[in-house]
Structure 1
C-alpha cells in the first residue's frame, strides 16, 4: 500500500477531527463540549486537534461551515426563476426553514442543525462582524431578487425583514422546538414582498464627502486559483470591472458600490479579515449558508455580474496594492483592458471607484456633469 503524503495525512487528520467534533457538539452542545473528548473520539492527541484548529470556537465554526458547504454542493438550481418577488421570498423561506429542529431532537443536536451561534459570537469584534454579515446577506438576497435592475433600497430592506423573520424563528426553535408554523412563516415571507416601507431611497449622508477615485495606469496581474462563492467556479478577475476588497466589519459598504455601479457591470467583492481561523470561518459560514439557499431558488445568472471571493491569503489585497488587511479594510480598483485605471481606499472606496465609471459613461455620451439617478433608477416608490 502506498504511503500517504504529508498533505494527505493532514487532510485525513482534519477530517477525523471534524467528524469527532460533530459528534461531541451534537451530544454535549458547544458550551459543554471538551477538546480532550474530541481528541479521544478521533483517536488523536490533544496536540493533533490544536495543530488543525486554534480552539473550540474555530472547531465549532468549521463543523457548521462543513455542513453549509455540503448543502451548497448538493443544491440543485431550478430551471426558471420564481414568477414574482413574493413567490421568490416564499421559496427562499421554505428552503431556509428546513433546518428547524423537530420536537424529538435533543437541544444540542437541534442547535447544531440550526447553525446556532448562541454563546459562540461573544466578543465585540465578532458581534460587529456578524452584524455586517447579516447586512451583506440581505444585499445578496436583494440582488438575487432583482438581478437586472439598479439595486433599490426598498429591496434591501425587504430582504432584511425576511432574514429577520427567519432568524427569529430559529431563535424560538432553539428554546421551544416545534413551536410556530413553518407554512405560516412562508406565507408571511411572501407578503413581505409587498409591504409598504417608510424609507427614503437616499444615499448615505457621508457619500458626498468621499474623495473621488484616483486615476491610474498601473498594470493589473489578476490573482489565480480564487473561487467565486456564488457560482462555485473559478473567479476570473482578468476582465473589465470593479474589484472591492472589504474587511468583514465593512461588508455593508457593498451596498454603496452596488448602487453606484453601472448596469451590467462585473462587480467582485473580496472578503478579508485579520483573523481567518475564527472571523474568517464565521464569514464563510454565513455567506456559504445563504448561497446554498439561493441556489435552490434562483437559476444562475450568466454571465455572473456579481461575485464574492474569500481572500485568506491576501493575494487580491496585494494585487490592488493595499496595506496589510484587517477587518476594517476597504480598497477598490477599476480594471479596464488589463490595467488598473482607478483606485480608492478608505471609507466609501467602493462607491468612489464604481461611480467613476458611471461619470465616464456620461461624458462619453456627451454629458457635462455627473450622472444622476432618477426615482425610477433605484427608488422604492413606497
Structure 2
C-alpha cells in the first residue's frame, strides 16, 4: 500500500536529502570548491529544488554545520556535568578549554584534534553583513562565558565582571582566526588548555562603566497587555522559553548583540532577562548565530552545572514572533528595542541605542513605574 506524503512531509524529505548530499560535497571539496549543481546531482534533484529549500550555497553550508552540531556529530557523546561544588576558576577554565578543543573538528569519526572537516568558515564571511554578525556573536559568547565564571565565586567576593578574562580565553582557544580558517590553528591543544587555566589567576581590571549610559533617554512608561509566543527555545539551556516571571525582554539585531550586557548589568536581582536575536536574513545570518551559540552552549553545558549557567534566556527570533508580540514590527539586524514585563503586562518600553539599559533600569523597583495608565485612565 502506497503511503501518500503531505506537502510538508515531502518538503522535509527533500530538505534532508539535500543536506545529506551537501554534507558529502562540502566534506570532499570544501566550501569554496563545492558546487550547487554537484549537490543537486548527488541528491538526484534539480538545481531549482535545492534553491527552493536553501536560497544560497552559504545558507546550505551553514545548515549542514548546524545539523551536525544539533545531532551530536561533533564527537558523538555528551559528558556528564561535573559534580558539586562548582570548580575553581582555574579548574573551570581548564575544563572548558579541553571541551572546546575536543569539538574543533565538527565531523563524525574525525580525530579529536584533527583538521577541518567542514567546520571552517573560510569563504563564508566574505560580505560585510555576515562578517559583522560573526563579530557580534563572538562578543555574546564572551558575555555568556563571563556570566558563568562570575557565578563561581562566593557571593561576598564575587567580582563585578569577568568579560575581559572570557574574551582572552576565547581568543586563545580560537587562535588567530581558527574558526575562519583551520590552517591557522597552532600549538598543542593540551598546552592551550593549560594556558587558559592560568588565565584564571591573571589579575585584570575589569569594570562595567560605559561612558554613554548616563546620556541614554529614559524608557517610556506604558501599561499594555501582551500574549507571549509559544514554542520558542532557549539556546542556552535547550529548554522552552518561559515568560512567567517579571523582567526585561530585549530585541537585538545581529549587529547589536554587544548591547545584551547593558540589560544584564542594569536588571534587578529578581529579573529574568530575555534576549531575542533578530535578523532580516534568517537563512544565512540567522543560521550563523544559531550555529555559533549552539556549539558554544553545548560546550558550556558539558562543563558547568545548571546553577552556574547565565540567568539569561537567549532566543533566535528569526521569524519575528517575540518582536511582534512586544510591539516591535520589522526588527532587523541593527535593531535595539526593549520592554519591561511586570505581572503579565508591558509596563515600559525603549527604542534605539541604550534601549536595553533603559528598560532594565526603569523597573528595578516597584516605585520606578507609575501605576497610572499613560492616558490617565485607571490601570
Alignment partner, residue 248 of structure 2:
242
Deviation at 1:151, TM superposition (A): 9.1
Deviation at 1:146, TM superposition (A): 2.4
Q: 1:10 to 1:209 in 2, by over 3 A?
A: same
User: Is the CA contact 1:264–1:305 (under 8 Å) kept in the aligned structure 2?
Assistant: no
Q: Hey, what's the Cα distance between the residues in 2 that align with 1:41 and 1:309? A: 34
User: Is the CA contact 2:234–2:314 (under 8 Å) kept in the aligned structure 1?
Assistant: yes
Deviation track 1:266-319 (CA, whole Å, cap 9, x = no partner) reads: 111011101101111111111111011011011223998311111111111111
Secondary structure (helix, strand or coil) at the match of 1:237 reads: coil
Matches within 5 A, 1:210-359: 210-301=216-307, 305-358=311-364
Alignment partner, residue 132 of structure 1:
136
Deviation track 1:310-357 (CA, whole Å, cap 9, x = no partner) reads: 111111111111241110111111111111111111111111111122
Deviation track 1:159-211 (CA, whole Å, cap 9, x = no partner) reads: 1111101110772982277x521111111111111212244x14211111111
Alignment partner, residue 16 of structure 1:
17
Q: Hey, what's the Cα distance between the residues in 1 that align with 2:31 and 2:158? A: 39
Deviation at 1:362, TM superposition (A): 8.4
Instruction: Specify which of 166, 179, 183 is matched with residue 175 of structure 1.
Output: 183
Q: 1:176 to 1:302 in 2, by over 3 A?
A: closer
Alignment partner, residue 88 of structure 1:
92
Q: Hey, what's the Cα distance between the residues in 2 that align with 1:123 and 1:314? A: 24
Q: Hey, what's the Cα distance between the residues in 2 that align with 1:35 and 1:193? A: 46
Q: Hey, what's the Cα distance between the residues in 2 that align with 1:59 and 1:22? A: 9
User: Is the CA contact 1:80–1:298 (under 8 Å) kept in the aligned structure 2?
Assistant: no
Compute the TM-score of the two structures, normalised by the length of structure 2. 0.87
Q: 1:74 to 1:250 in 2, by over 3 A?
A: farther
Compute the TM-score of the two structures, normalised by the length of structure 1. 0.86
Secondary structure (helix, strand or coil) at the match of 1:344 reads: strand
User: Is the CA contact 1:246–1:272 (under 8 Å) kept in the aligned structure 2?
Assistant: yes
Q: Hey, what's the Cα distance between the residues in 1 that align with 2:299 and 2:168? A: 17
Q: Hey, what's the Cα distance between the residues in 1 that align with 2:161 and 2:272? A: 23
Q: Hey, what's the Cα distance between the residues in 2 that align with 1:231 and 1:70? A: 16
Instruction: Specify which of 102, 111, 120 is matched with residue 116 of structure 2.
Output: 111
Give 5+ residue unaligned stretches, structure 1: 364-382
Instruction: Specify which of 212, 223, 230 is matched with residue 206 of structure 1.
Output: 212
Alignment partner, residue 375 of structure 2:
none
User: Is the CA contact 1:35–1:56 (under 8 Å) kept in the aligned structure 2?
Assistant: yes
Q: Hey, what's the Cα distance between the residues in 1 that align with 2:244 and 2:365? A: 23
Give 5+ residue unaligned stretches, structure 2: 370-379
Q: 1:182 to 1:303 in 2, by over 3 A?
A: closer
Alignment partner, residue 28 of structure 1:
29
Q: Which protein has the bigger helix share?
A: 1
Give the aligned length.
Answer: 358
Q: 1:100 to 1:341 in 2, by over 3 A?
A: closer
> After TM superposition, what 4+ stretches of structure 1 lie above 6 angstroms from structure 2?
148-151
The CA RMSD measured in Å over matched residues stands at: 2.8
Q: Does 1:165 align with 2:169?
A: no
